[in-house]
């Protein structure tokens, strides 16, 4: 993980943000003390933020529940097959 000073970050912000967007993590120091860590946004966070910005989704008001589920880790299934399975169980 690369460590940079706040002055270096300020002078070359675009360069360092491009590196973070490419997957690199950076630590930022001020007067030699660690003050921040820049990390890339995950695909899940990017998708969620986009839906909220378009008004297609509202953020959860409480922690836990479905808001804590990582959608990328869920198995992919055909919706028609799932519906047929549910109807067969009834």
Average pLDDT, the chain: 87
Per the domain annotation, does 41 fall within a domain?
Answer: yes
If pLDDT is split at 50, 70 and 90, which confidence band does 29 have? very high
Q: What is the CATH number of the domain that holds 19?
A: 3.40.1620.10
Count: domains in the chain: 1
% of the chain residues with pLDDT over 70: 96
> Measured between alpha carbons, how far is 85 from 68 in angstroms, rounded to an integer?
26
For residues 48-66, give the mean pLDDT: 80
pTM comes to: 0.52
Report yes or no on 45 lying in a domain. Answer: yes
Residue 71: how many CB atoms within 10 A of its CB? 10
Report yes or no: 40 and 25 within 8 Å, Cβ to Cβ.
Answer: yes
pLDDT band at 67 (very low <50, low <70, confident <90, very high): low
In a domain, 67, yes or no: no
Which candidate, 4, 1, 23, places its Cα nearest to that of 13?
4
pLDDT score of 53 more than 80: yes
């Amino acid at each position: 993980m690369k460590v940079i000073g706040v002055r270096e970050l300020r002078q070359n912000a675009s360069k360092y943000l491009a590196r973070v967007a490419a997957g690199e993590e950076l630590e930022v120091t001020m007067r030699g003390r660690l003050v921040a860590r820049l990390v890339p946004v995950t695909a899940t966070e990017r998708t969620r933020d986009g839906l909220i910005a378009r008004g297609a989704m509202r953020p959860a008001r409480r922690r836990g529940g479905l808001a804590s589920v990582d959608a990328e880790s869920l198995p992919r299934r055909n919706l028609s097959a799932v519906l047929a399975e549910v109807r067969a169980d009834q």
